[in-house]
């Protein structure tokens, strides 16, 4: 498999949100705006990229009995770094994302890529996979956040372009499920045309 395929499969073919349905807790919880989706996606991408790199480097030294706990400690370390950086430099985004930042530690996407991919591949391949899957996750969060923000408040990235209120339901949990469902249908149609 070429490096490009490792990178690109996270966008459509194996997108964590639209195809694999992983990481739905932050997906549905924080995507009330495109900006929140972008922030959460980039935070997850950083953790995914760095944990894949570290796991691929030290995989030979981790005993099988403590493999998963070791991966969780590695992931938690990078989540702590992200949390401290966001708290220091983007406190409004940090406040908006709240509890979902520490929950990156138990995101199935991050742990799954460490276990299924980084622990079995070299550094470069693992880094490319982490970056591709992370940016695909970010794309999904931004798309969902943009749809919810446009329909829910008539704005995009905080810039209001429709007067009055939107359909408030899209800023609530039921709207997240509706928007996600329609986006999954669209992505599945795109994937079927490519196949």
Task: Tell me the pLDDT tens digit for each residue of 104-149.
Answer: 988 888 998 999 888 898 999 999 999 999 999 999 999 999 999 9
Confidence at 1, pLDDT banded by 50, 70, 90:
low
Half-sphere exposure of 48 (CA within 13 A, CB side): 29
Give residue for tokens 């339901």: 169
pLDDT in tens, 142-175: 999 999 998 888 889 888 887 877 788 888 888 8
d(CA 145, CA 21): 16
Residue 188 has pLDDT above 90, yes or no: no
Q: Give me the phi and psi of 160, to 5 degrees please.
A: -75, 125
Query: 60, exposed or middle or buried, with CB in 10 Å at 0-12, 13-18, 19+?
Result: exposed
User: Tokens at residue 184, please?
Assistant: 């999954």
pLDDT in tens, 58-67: 999 999 899 9
Provide the CA 61 distance to its chain's centre, in angstroms. 28
Residue 51 has pLDDT above 90, yes or no: yes
d(CA 94, CA 26): 14
């Amino acid at each position: 498999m070429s490096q490009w395929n490792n990178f690109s499969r996270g966008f459509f073919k194996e997108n964590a949100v639209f195809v694999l349905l992983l990481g739905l807790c932050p997906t549905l919880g924080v995507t009330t705006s495109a900006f929140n989706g972008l922030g959460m996606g980039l935070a997850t991408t950083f953790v995914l990229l760095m944990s894949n790199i570290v796991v691929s480097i030290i995989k030979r030294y981790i005993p099988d009995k403590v493999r998963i706990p070791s991966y969780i400690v590695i992931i938690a370390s990078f989540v702590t770094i992200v949390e401290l950086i966001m708290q220091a430099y983007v406190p409004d985004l940090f406040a908006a994302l709240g509890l979902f930042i520490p929950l990156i530690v138990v995101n199935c996407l991050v742990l799954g890529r460490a276990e299924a991919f980084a622990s079995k591949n070299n550094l470069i391949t693992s880094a490319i996979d982490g970056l591709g899957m992370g940016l695909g996750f970010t794309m999904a969060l931004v798309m969902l956040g943009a749809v919810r923000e446009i329909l829910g408040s008539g704005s995009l990235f905080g810039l209001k372009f429709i007067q009055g209120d939107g359909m408030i339901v899209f800023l609530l949990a039921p709207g997240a499920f509706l928007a996600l469902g329609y986006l999954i249908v669209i992505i599945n149609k795109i994937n079927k045309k490519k196949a």
